[in-house]
Structure 1
Amino acid sequence: MTTLLEPAPRTTTTTIPTGLTAIPPIAEWWHRLEAPLRREILERPEAPLRRPVVRRILDLTDRETEPVPHFPVRLDENARAYLLGWSGTSGRL
Protein backbone atom coordinates (compact mmCIF):
# COMPACT_ATOMS: atom_id res chain seq x y z
CA MET A 1 0.00 0.00 0.00
CA THR A 2 1.30 3.43 -0.87
CA THR A 3 0.24 6.81 0.40
CA LEU A 4 0.45 10.09 -1.34
CA LEU A 5 1.96 12.93 0.55
CA GLU A 6 0.94 16.33 -0.56
CA PRO A 7 3.52 19.05 -0.27
CA ALA A 8 2.85 21.73 2.27
CA PRO A 9 1.07 24.75 0.83
CA ARG A 10 3.43 27.49 -0.22
CA THR A 11 3.09 30.84 1.36
CA THR A 12 4.52 33.93 -0.20
CA THR A 13 5.91 36.21 2.43
CA THR A 14 8.67 38.70 2.15
CA THR A 15 11.09 38.57 5.01
CA ILE A 16 14.00 40.84 5.59
CA PRO A 17 17.03 38.94 6.86
CA THR A 18 18.11 39.87 10.35
CA GLY A 19 20.87 42.43 10.30
CA LEU A 20 19.99 43.77 6.85
CA THR A 21 20.33 47.53 6.83
CA ALA A 22 18.76 49.40 3.97
CA ILE A 23 20.24 52.77 4.87
CA PRO A 24 23.49 53.80 6.53
CA PRO A 25 23.56 55.00 10.16
CA ILE A 26 21.69 58.28 10.60
CA ALA A 27 24.77 60.14 11.87
CA GLU A 28 26.32 59.74 8.39
CA TRP A 29 23.56 61.58 6.52
CA TRP A 30 21.19 63.52 8.80
CA HIS A 31 23.26 66.72 8.98
CA ARG A 32 23.58 66.81 5.16
CA LEU A 33 19.94 66.04 4.36
CA GLU A 34 17.95 68.96 2.96
CA ALA A 35 15.62 70.76 5.39
CA PRO A 36 12.33 69.76 3.66
CA LEU A 37 13.30 66.09 3.83
CA ARG A 38 14.36 66.42 7.47
CA ARG A 39 11.00 68.01 8.31
CA GLU A 40 9.20 65.17 6.54
CA ILE A 41 11.06 62.59 8.64
CA LEU A 42 10.58 64.53 11.88
CA GLU A 43 6.83 64.75 11.29
CA ARG A 44 6.47 60.95 11.26
CA PRO A 45 9.71 59.22 12.32
CA GLU A 46 8.00 55.84 12.70
CA ALA A 47 6.54 55.89 9.16
CA PRO A 48 8.22 54.20 6.19
CA LEU A 49 10.55 56.53 4.31
CA ARG A 50 9.49 57.45 0.80
CA ARG A 51 11.65 55.96 -1.97
CA PRO A 52 12.99 59.42 -3.06
CA VAL A 53 14.10 60.07 0.53
CA VAL A 54 15.92 56.72 0.68
CA ARG A 55 17.50 57.47 -2.71
CA ARG A 56 18.75 60.84 -1.42
CA ILE A 57 20.19 59.23 1.73
CA LEU A 58 22.07 56.69 -0.39
CA ASP A 59 23.37 59.49 -2.64
CA LEU A 60 24.59 61.54 0.33
CA THR A 61 26.54 58.58 1.69
CA ASP A 62 28.29 57.73 -1.59
CA ARG A 63 26.08 54.70 -2.21
CA GLU A 64 24.46 56.02 -5.36
CA THR A 65 25.05 52.74 -7.19
CA GLU A 66 23.01 50.77 -4.65
CA PRO A 67 19.38 50.20 -5.64
CA VAL A 68 16.58 51.51 -3.46
CA PRO A 69 15.16 48.54 -1.54
CA HIS A 70 11.76 47.23 -2.57
CA PHE A 71 10.69 46.71 1.04
CA PRO A 72 9.54 49.52 3.36
CA VAL A 73 12.48 51.30 4.96
CA ARG A 74 11.95 52.68 8.44
CA LEU A 75 14.19 54.35 10.96
CA ASP A 76 15.25 51.96 13.67
CA GLU A 77 15.03 52.68 17.38
CA ASN A 78 18.57 54.08 17.51
CA ALA A 79 17.88 56.49 14.65
CA ARG A 80 14.69 57.72 16.33
CA ALA A 81 16.66 58.24 19.56
CA TYR A 82 19.24 60.22 17.57
CA LEU A 83 16.43 62.44 16.29
CA LEU A 84 15.19 63.06 19.83
CA GLY A 85 18.64 64.29 20.81
CA TRP A 86 19.13 66.27 17.61
CA SER A 87 15.79 68.03 17.77
CA GLY A 88 16.20 68.84 21.46
CA THR A 89 12.76 67.48 22.30
CA SER A 90 11.91 65.20 25.15
CA GLY A 91 9.48 62.33 24.98
CA ARG A 92 8.00 60.80 21.87
CA LEU A 93 8.65 62.33 18.46
Structure 2
Amino acid sequence: MLSKAISPPRLRRVLLRPRLRLESDVERVAQKLVELAKDRCDQRIYVDDTFVPVLEKDSWLWEELDKQDAIDGNSLWLRGRQAWFPQPRIPD
Protein backbone atom coordinates (compact mmCIF):
# COMPACT_ATOMS: atom_id res chain seq x y z
CA MET A 1 0.00 0.00 0.00
CA LEU A 2 2.83 2.41 0.80
CA SER A 3 4.42 1.72 -2.56
CA LYS A 4 1.25 2.95 -4.28
CA ALA A 5 1.18 6.07 -2.12
CA ILE A 6 4.73 7.08 -3.02
CA SER A 7 4.73 5.86 -6.62
CA PRO A 8 3.53 9.03 -8.39
CA PRO A 9 6.70 10.69 -9.70
CA ARG A 10 5.12 14.12 -9.36
CA LEU A 11 5.35 13.89 -5.57
CA ARG A 12 8.31 15.95 -4.43
CA ARG A 13 8.25 14.91 -0.80
CA VAL A 14 6.41 12.36 1.31
CA LEU A 15 6.41 12.84 5.08
CA LEU A 16 5.58 9.67 6.99
CA ARG A 17 4.68 10.04 10.64
CA PRO A 18 3.85 6.72 12.31
CA ARG A 19 1.45 7.26 15.18
CA LEU A 20 1.10 4.12 17.20
CA ARG A 21 0.25 3.25 20.76
CA LEU A 22 3.74 2.15 21.81
CA GLU A 23 6.92 4.14 21.36
CA SER A 24 8.81 0.96 20.45
CA ASP A 25 6.35 0.35 17.60
CA VAL A 26 6.91 3.87 16.28
CA GLU A 27 10.67 3.28 16.29
CA ARG A 28 10.30 -0.09 14.54
CA VAL A 29 7.99 1.26 11.83
CA ALA A 30 10.21 4.31 11.28
CA GLN A 31 13.21 2.03 10.80
CA LYS A 32 11.29 -0.05 8.25
CA LEU A 33 10.38 3.14 6.37
CA VAL A 34 14.05 4.14 6.27
CA GLU A 35 14.93 0.69 4.92
CA LEU A 36 12.24 1.05 2.25
CA ALA A 37 13.62 4.43 1.18
CA LYS A 38 17.14 2.98 0.98
CA ASP A 39 15.97 -0.05 -1.00
CA ARG A 40 14.15 2.21 -3.46
CA CYS A 41 16.88 4.90 -3.45
CA ASP A 42 14.03 7.36 -2.98
CA GLN A 43 15.15 10.69 -1.59
CA ARG A 44 11.56 12.01 -1.46
CA ILE A 45 10.77 9.98 1.67
CA TYR A 46 11.04 11.79 4.99
CA VAL A 47 10.31 10.15 8.35
CA ASP A 48 9.19 11.85 11.55
CA ASP A 49 9.69 9.28 14.29
CA THR A 50 8.70 11.60 17.13
CA PHE A 51 6.54 9.64 19.55
CA VAL A 52 3.12 11.24 19.97
CA PRO A 53 0.75 9.62 22.48
CA VAL A 54 -2.42 8.57 20.69
CA LEU A 55 -4.30 7.17 23.67
CA GLU A 56 -5.17 8.97 26.90
CA LYS A 57 -6.83 6.82 29.53
CA ASP A 58 -9.48 5.04 27.44
CA SER A 59 -9.83 7.69 24.77
CA TRP A 60 -8.15 7.87 21.35
CA LEU A 61 -6.71 11.28 20.49
CA TRP A 62 -6.98 11.14 16.68
CA GLU A 63 -9.35 14.10 16.37
CA GLU A 64 -7.26 16.32 18.65
CA LEU A 65 -4.06 15.36 16.83
CA ASP A 66 -5.65 16.11 13.44
CA LYS A 67 -6.71 19.54 14.69
CA GLN A 68 -3.21 20.25 15.97
CA ASP A 69 -1.77 19.21 12.60
CA ALA A 70 -4.11 21.67 10.88
CA ILE A 71 -3.00 24.44 13.24
CA ASP A 72 0.67 23.59 12.66
CA GLY A 73 0.10 23.86 8.91
CA ASN A 74 3.19 24.13 6.75
CA SER A 75 5.55 23.76 9.70
CA LEU A 76 4.76 20.03 9.61
CA TRP A 77 6.96 19.78 6.52
CA LEU A 78 9.96 20.99 8.51
CA ARG A 79 9.78 17.97 10.80
CA GLY A 80 11.36 14.62 10.26
CA ARG A 81 14.49 13.63 8.44
CA GLN A 82 15.29 12.52 4.95
CA ALA A 83 15.32 8.73 5.03
CA TRP A 84 17.79 8.31 2.16
CA PHE A 85 19.95 10.63 0.13
CA PRO A 86 22.62 9.92 -2.47
CA GLN A 87 26.11 9.76 -1.10
CA PRO A 88 28.55 12.15 -2.74
CA ARG A 89 31.06 10.42 -4.96
CA ILE A 90 34.63 10.73 -3.85
CA PRO A 91 36.97 11.35 -6.79
CA ASP A 92 39.66 8.72 -7.31
Q: TM-score range by the shorter chain?
A: under 0.3
Higher strand share: 2
- The TM-score, its normalising length taken from structure 2, stands at 0.25
- The TM-score, its normalising length taken from structure 1, stands at 0.25
- Larger Rg over CA atoms: 1
